[in-house]
């Protein structure tokens, strides 16, 4: 089989495994940088390889609007188009349709919306999302879903019913997982019975992986963790579990403890563009005057190009001057920080020492976060 998942070791609910794909194996748990428009902002594919990235995400909504999935297909697909040799994942476009676009109409068949770029009218259905993602050519593709705010039960209940119906249509449009693995998405907000209903509807389709959507979009951290506590046991133990859009260090630690295998988030590059860096002691604002003459690296524990080459003083200068290199160096560091963090947890699972890693990490990180 082109896709398979093996679990090497567990500790509590946490798992260390390997997800095999046509473009190479993904050691899990794994953090995937987000390349929304077929590029991780301010970072080259070579730099992504150097920091140890093994999976990159791109976005169906944005690439459909520009340059168009037909062009990407004709240029050899996403891997060739953006010169990324490793595994890739595309989301369904559902989150962006609901969060970015000016929605004209949502119905049981799909969503009609206006582009946030030029106001042009577009229509996404489950079948259209599948066709776009097949043209883009990522290894992992996502079922089309409705992502509601997680705390409004009436809206969430309707979204679960619609997402379940759309998942069945996505599966019918994409019955063969040999070239692209179609993951189903569990919605349900913070409501246990709705998450259970969503899982019940998804499991008969035997997706090769299952995502948890609709979290980290407004609920408290504790509500997210509690939702993971009751949702993860509802999903198949022999399939990878993907928590969508989560990527701050403490959330990664808490979610891995609960059994999540795959993560993605724009956070490391987004905060870099605002002059911030992840460190073991919380997020550091590089604009602070305290760094103006500081000869230390951004993070003395980090092995990335930024931290092994440049001082805090220089990085602060770049940030204050608005230089693009500052965005690149902090993005490289932040992505490497998250990858090292997740790799350390994976090693700890394999060695049976996960608690010994996570507890002091959280104590340090949350002290100043």
Cβ partners under 8 Å of residue 137, min gap 6? 72, 73, 77, 78, 79, 88, 180
Q: Three-state DSSP class for 131?
A: helix
Extract the tokens encoding 162: 């619609």
Give which of 280, 105, 92 is closest to 169, Cα–Cα.
92
> What is the side-by-side order of every strand in the sheet holding 30-33?
30-33, 262-265, 241-243, 210-212, 181-186, 140-142, 88-90, 56-58
Contact 369, 250 (CB under 8 A): yes
Catalytic residue among 139, 177, 201, 264: 264
Give the burial string for 122-150 (b: 16+ CB within 10 Å, else e). bebbbbbbbebbbbbbbbbbbbbbbbbeb
H or E element in which residue 126 lies? helix 126-136
Is residue 176 packed enough to be buried (19+ CB in 10 Å), middle (13-18) or exposed (0-12)? exposed
Is residue 176 among the annotated active site residues?
no
> What is the side-by-side order of every strand in the sheet holding 24-28?
4-11, 14-21, 24-28
Catalytic residue among 74, 91, 108, 238: 91
* Cα gap 73→77, rounded to integer Å: 4
| Alpha carbon distances (Å) from 288 to 203, 285, 302, 309, 334 | 50, 6, 20, 20, 18
Backbone angles phi, psi at 13, to 5 degrees: -90, -15
Is residue 264 among the annotated active site residues?
yes
* Cα gap 200→4, rounded to integer Å: 22
| Alpha carbon distances (Å) from 215 to 9, 46, 276, 300, 364 | 27, 31, 24, 33, 25
Please give, one letter per residue, the 3-state secondary structure of 187-199.
Answer: CCCCCHHHHHHHH
Active site residues per annotation: 91, 264
């Amino acid at each position: 089989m082109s896709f398979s998942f093996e679990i090497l070791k567990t500790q509590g609910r946490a798992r260390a495994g390997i997800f095999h794909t046509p473009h190479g194996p993904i050691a899990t748990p794994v953090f995937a940088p987000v390349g929304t428009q077929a590029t991780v902002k301010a970072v080259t594919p070579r730099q992504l390889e150097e920091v140890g990235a093994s999976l990159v995400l791109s976005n169906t909504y944005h690439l459909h609007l520009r340059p168009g999935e037909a062009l990407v297909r004709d240029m050899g697909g996403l891997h060739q188009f953006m010169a990324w040799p490793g595994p890739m994942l595309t989301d369904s476009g559902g989150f962006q349709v609901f969060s970015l676009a000016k929605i004209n109409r949502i119905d049981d068949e799909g969503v009609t919306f206006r582009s946030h770029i030029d106001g042009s009218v577009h229509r996404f259905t489950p079948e259209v999302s599948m066709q776009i993602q097949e043209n883009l050519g990522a290894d992992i593709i996502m079922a089309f879903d409705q992502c509601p705010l997680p705390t409004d039960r009436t809206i969430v209940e309707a979204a679960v019913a619609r997402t379940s119906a759309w998942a069945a249509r996505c599966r019918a449009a994409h019955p063969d997982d040999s070239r692209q693995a179609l993951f189903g998405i569990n919605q349900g907000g913070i409501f246990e019975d709705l998450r259970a209903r969503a899982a019940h509807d998804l499991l008969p389709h035997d997706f090769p992986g299952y995502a948890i959507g609709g979290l980290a979009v407004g609920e408290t951290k504790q509500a997210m963790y509690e939702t993971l506590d009751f949702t993860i046991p509802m999903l198949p133990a022999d399939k990878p579990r993907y928590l969508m859009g989560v990527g701050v260090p403490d959330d990664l630690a808490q979610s891995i403890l609960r059994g999540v295998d795959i993560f993605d988030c724009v956070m490391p590059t987004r905060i870099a563009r605002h002059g911030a860096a992840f460190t073991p002691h919380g997020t550091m604002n590089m604009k602070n005057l305290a760094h103006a003459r500081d000869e230390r690296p951004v993070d003395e524990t980090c092995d990335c190009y930024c931290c092994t080459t440049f001082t805090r003083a220089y990085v602060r200068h770049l940030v204050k001057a608005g230089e693009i290199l500052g965005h690149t160096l902090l993005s490289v560091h932040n992505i490497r920080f998250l990858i090292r963090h997740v790799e350390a947890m994976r090693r700890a699972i394999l060695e049976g020492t996960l608690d010994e890693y996570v507890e002091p990490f959280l104590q340090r990180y949350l002290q100043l976060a």
